[in-house]
Structure 1
């Protein structure tokens, strides 16, 4: 008898998905440029002059790394010139605190809203038996502020930030795999679908082994960039995801 652990299975299909891992800002949450506004506040806090070449270079890096763990971005931007890891970490943490504070203030001022159709899509997927997990590159305090502002605290089975999955964040597959391990919703990584609006979301999804890695056109990156990063599908918005996964 062939062991069920080694028996070949049929190719996974989108409709076989059991676990759906969704990014937040730009995918389920309409960002509206808030990341860049919060970065500008953090840069000012760190002494980077708006309009300067350094500011332009930093902003270009922020745009290129949308979806990545924010603390990782700040470790790159404010690396100590002398190569001192402790000094780099201290500067990165200072910048990250300023960023999170600025983003939190924007949330408090009512500048966030769900992507149209996102909540309906999440609820449809869950009603059809899929387990949905929300992930982010933000710190937990900011993720919780977003969930509270949207009234989504009890919407899904699990929410994850980089610190909940070892601290590396995207483009590593850690949050996707942590979602699988913590929910037990799937028997195989081929039963996972990942959706996001950035190249880092796509890379993370492909590295996790997910069958569906869907790029959303509601956020940071365009269709070409999403496909180049490994998107298996590109959708106008999350509202189209249930149909792709066989939920009608």
Structure 2
């Protein structure tokens, strides 16, 4: 564990908000593969300079709401929606084909966190349909107290809406009783903007420790499997 601050004495964490892809669910390059389908649906030729520019933006914005990414890339709302539909369908197909697995120790960590008396909420930048598809593929329909996507909250990452919606829906009394964990800078920004006491970055996904710290990580962990011990410590 590599942490900025490890002293949690006096901090009563009652709510843990966890990202999915890259944090609790192995991404395995699925986002980039699904993007290839989305770009193709909009007539962007694979290997072209435009395609490479777009792919670099997708990589840089891992964790952001996907429709927001496509609005940036394609401008017009109609094009962004077409790209998002193609992306979601491609991602569904990849999940159906078995390209989806939990991060080692993630299910056990979620069970341990709930066993410690904490509420656990899983969040994503994907649509509700895609989130449900992932949960079904993993057999995780009942693994958490609540699951949220951007449409449930108003805005996706890096805004604080997902974390604050989790707090409201679980009846948590204060933002200081909340921990937020994820693998991207957008997860860190969401946690800090929501006022969470613990904003934990994990090194199993998109961004490295330096990037996570720069955007507000209070702790950097090797994986989500280390989180229960941190909070219990």
* Shorter-chain TM-score above 0.5: yes
The CA RMSD measured in Å over matched residues stands at 1.2
Normalising by structure 1, what TM-score?
0.90
Asked if the contact 1:170–1:201 (Cα under 8 Å) also holds between the matched residues in 2, the reply is: yes
Structure 1 residues 198, 96: closer, same or farther in 2, change over 3 A? same
Whether contact under 8 Å (1:20, 1:132) holds in the other structure is yes
* 2:111 equivalent in structure 1: 123
CA deviations over 1:60-88 (Å, ceiling 9, x no partner): 11011110000000000001xxxxxxxx1
CA distance in structure 1 between the aligned counterparts of 2:108 and 2:131, rounded to whole angstroms: 20
Residue pair 1:28, 1:114 contacting (<8 A) in 2 also: yes
Give ranges in structure 1 of 5+ residues lacking alignment: 1-10, 80-87
Q: Indicate the structure (1 or 2) with the bigger Cα radius of gyration.
A: 1
- CA distance in 2 between counterparts of 1:89 and 1:102 reads 20
- Tell me how many residue pairs correspond in the alignment: 227
Residue 155 of structure 1 and its aligned partner are, at CA, apart by 0.9
* Corresponding residue to 2:195 among 209, 212, 234: 209
TM-score by length of 2: 0.95
SS at match of 2:207: coil
- The alpha-carbon deviation at position 15 of structure 1 amounts to 5.0
Match of 1:7 in 2: none
Gaps of 5+ in 2: 1-6
SS in 2 for 1:35: helix
In the TM superposition, residue 89 of structure 1 has moved relative to its aligned partner by 1.1
Give 1:46's match in structure 2, choosing from 42, 61, 67. 42
